[in-house]
Structure 1
Amino acid sequence: MAYTARLRKAVGAVRAALAEAGLERQSPEFAQHGEHRTAPDAPLVLVACSGGRDSMALAAVAHTVCASLGLRCGAVIVDHGLQAGSDEVAATTAQRCEQLGLTPVITRKVAVRESGEGLEAAAREARYQAIIETAGECRAAVVLLAHTMDDQAETVLIGLLRNTGIDATAGMPPHFTRGGVTFLRPLLGLTRADTTGICRDLGIAYWDDPTNGESIDGELPADYPLRSRVRHDLLPAIVRFAGRDVARHLAESAALTQADKDYLDSAAVRVAAQVVGGADGGAVLRINAARLGAEHPAIRRRVIGRALEQAGIRAGATQVDAIDRLITDWHGQGPVHLPSGYSANRKKHVIRVCQDGAHANR
């Protein structure tokens, strides 16, 4: 069949993402015309597939690209069990992936346990854990995620609503590692219209999540997920106001900001290696305030935030700033109280983060 422009763009994007991850053509024969058998021990590319238009388009394109490179291509489908009939949706999605030629196709059912951050966040965490476990069991080289340019724009807007600073506008990175698994987002340069068109070009059926449904009387119900309301209510309103393609603008800005964020993160990692220490008596971590105080505020806050995160402490921007003041405006003030019963206390040139009460025991 003749490739449409959007299909060629998707093929190129997936091929480029795999190449950046070090997954190139496995042998010269795959550069020749005709069908070639993929080795059973070839690297496995796993597509995280929900059954929606984006992930079904990605599954089809990834299978085509992998076949041309001598890579294996499989799929993992996560059933959250949050909607009636979710098991049927998962089974149908698995069948469609198998019909496309993906193998293995693995379905994982998960239990979503909310921990105070909302059902969306809990479902996302459960999904990632299931994908990471599956990728480990299959020894997958990479996992592909089907986020598009539209998803990126929505993520930027959600970040601006929920967070502050450069991280809020950086959106989703094109690649990252979590739980020892490399994740790639090759479709960030394509739109939802592109993936819909690819499914139509290839005759692929897909499932539409009802919580991503169309507006009712112009707006989505308030109990719908935030992303759905941003997609159907907020983003269209901004487009009408601006009179242009805001999604592309936000996504392109996110890519530039992501590069800045990557630079700051790498600088913070280097500084942290010099100023952050591990457990010491009652402290879960120690920060050399005198040495960190010489760094730029952007680096200081990143070092503090990263150190707390690695210690398993979910601190907000206000608490990070309060610890930063222990460094830059130290005049004997009391401890900074943190979640889960932790606090940060400075003595001389060292800030110790301890469970409450442990400071007094030193």
Structure 2
Amino acid sequence: MPYTARLRKAVGLLRAALAEAGLERQSPEFARHGEHAAAEDAPLVLVACSGGRDSMALAAVARIVCASLGLRCGAVIVDHGMQDGSDRIAEAAASRCRTLGLAPVLVRPIAVRESGEGPEAAAREARYRELVAVAYESRAVALLLAHTMDDQAETMLIGLLRNRGTDALAGMPASFTRGGVAFLRPWLALARADTTGICADLDLEYWDDPTNGESVVGELPRDYPLRSRVRHDLLPAIARFAGGDMTRHLAESAELARRDKDYLDECADRVMARAVTFAGESAASPVIDGGMARIIDGATVLTIDARTLEAEHPAIRARVIAHALERAGIAAGAAQVDAIGRLVTDWHGQGAVRLPRGYSANRKKHVIRVCQDGAHANR
């Protein structure tokens, strides 16, 4: 079958992403023409497939690319159970993946429990937990996600609506690790129109999620997910205002912001290694308190050496604090991070900074301790 330009681009992007992850051709025979079976113990790549146009296109292209490299290629379909007939939709997606030749093809039903951040966030968190579990069980070396350039532009706008700063502009990373599992987004430079076209090129059937608003005429109802309203209302409005399609512009801007974010994160993590000690760390990295080396007590989750952190640039200082709290499992907001920053640079005996889940940060001499409320009284 002759490849269209969009199919060649999709193949090239996926090959590059796999190579970046260290997944290259398994043996010279796969460089020769013809179909060659992957070894039974060849690395397994899984496609996270919803049955929609993007993930069905990725499943088909991944099968082609993995076969040419000697990699095994399978799929996992997560059934969130949040819509009537979701089990039938999941099984239909699995059937299409099997027809394409993917193996194994796994359907995993999950229970989505509301966590207070909305159903979209709860579904995403439950989905990733299940994907990580499936990757471990099947010993997959990578999981492919079908996010496109359009998804990246939408994510950037959602970030700006919900957050602030460089991180809000950075969109989605092309790769990341969660629970020790490598996730790859090979198609952040490919438009949704291309995945739709690939489905036409390969005669693929797909399912359109009604909550994406594809069939709604006019402005979407307010009860539709934010991403759907950004896709169908906000992005078209920006395009009309700018006089042209802004999707590529926003997605490429997100990529540049992501580079800056990654560099700042690396710098911050190096400083964190010197300035922050977490509960359970060994005596090789003690907190110095009044000239005496001391290991963190059981009530304190982390300590910050204010003198070390005070010498850093404000951008790095804020990231160190935010990263430390995140690592301790404390979801602090920007105002709370700023308040701890003032304990570092403008300390004049002020009281503790209150944090979520009953934690607080309090400074004594040059050490800031983050611990459960009430624990500071004994320090």
Coarse TM-score class (shorter-chain normalised): over 0.9
2-structure distance, mates of 1:249, 1:217: 26
After alignment, is 214-223 or 119-128 more displaced?
A: 214-223
**Residues 1:300 and 2:317 are matched in the alignment:** yes
1:317 aligns to what? 334
2-structure distance, mates of 1:344, 1:295: 20
- The one-letter code of the counterpart of 2:246 is V
TM-superposed deviation, 1:216 = 4.3
TM-score by length of 1: 0.99
- The one-letter code of the counterpart of 2:240 is R
2:375 aligns to what? 358
**Residues 1:22 and 2:15 are matched in the alignment:** no
2-structure distance, mates of 1:317, 1:350: 21
- The one-letter code of the counterpart of 2:179 is G
Q: Deviations over 1:109-150 (max 9, x none)?
A: 000001111000000000000000000101111000000000
Question: 1:157 aligns to what SS in structure 2?
Answer: helix
Question: 2:378 aligns to what SS in structure 1?
Answer: coil
2-structure distance, mates of 1:223, 1:132: 30
1:347 aligns to what? 364
Question: 1:95 aligns to what SS in structure 2?
Answer: helix
2-structure distance, mates of 1:236, 1:13: 27
Alignment of 1:205-244 (within 5 A): 205-214=205-214, 216=216, 218-244=218-244
After alignment, is 96-105 or 209-218 more displaced?
A: 209-218
2:256 aligns to what? 256
Alignment of 1:44-123 (within 5 A): 44-123=44-123
1:160 aligns to what? 160
1:127 aligns to what? 127
2-structure distance, mates of 1:271, 1:343: 22
TM-superposed deviation, 1:57 = 0.3
2-structure distance, mates of 1:167, 1:278: 24
TM-superposed deviation, 1:214 = 3.4
2:174 aligns to what? 174
Question: 1:45 aligns to what SS in structure 2?
Answer: strand
Q: Deviations over 1:42-101 (max 9, x none)?
A: 000100000000000000000000000000000000000000000000000000000000
1-structure distance, mates of 2:14, 2:231: 25
Question: 1:344 aligns to what SS in structure 2?
Answer: strand
1-structure distance, mates of 2:300, 2:376: 8
- The one-letter code of the counterpart of 1:55 is S
Q: CA RMSD in A?
A: 0.7
Question: 1:230 aligns to what SS in structure 2?
Answer: helix
**Gap change, CA 1:215 and 1:162, over 3 Å in 2:** farther
**Residues 1:327 and 2:344 are matched in the alignment:** yes
Question: 1:285 aligns to what SS in structure 2?
Answer: strand
TM-score by length of 2: 0.95
2-structure distance, mates of 1:109, 1:216: 28
Q: Deviations over 1:255-306 (max 9, x none)?
A: 1111111100111110000000012222110000110010011111111001
Question: 2:248 aligns to what SS in structure 1?
Answer: helix
- The one-letter code of the counterpart of 1:111 is A
Identity %: 75
- The one-letter code of the counterpart of 1:237 is A
2-structure distance, mates of 1:247, 1:152: 8
TM-superposed deviation, 1:36 = 1.1
2-structure distance, mates of 1:156, 1:37: 41
TM-superposed deviation, 1:215 = 6.8
Question: 2:182 aligns to what SS in structure 1?
Answer: strand
- The one-letter code of the counterpart of 2:317 is R
**Mapped contact 2:208–2:214 kept (Cα < 8 A):** no
2-structure distance, mates of 1:150, 1:74: 25
Aligned residues: 362
Question: 1:23 aligns to what SS in structure 2?
Answer: coil
Q: Deviations over 1:330-349 (max 9, x none)?
A: 11100000000000000010
**Gap change, CA 1:4 and 1:132, over 3 Å in 2:** same
2-structure distance, mates of 1:46, 1:214: 27
TM-superposed deviation, 1:217 = 5.1
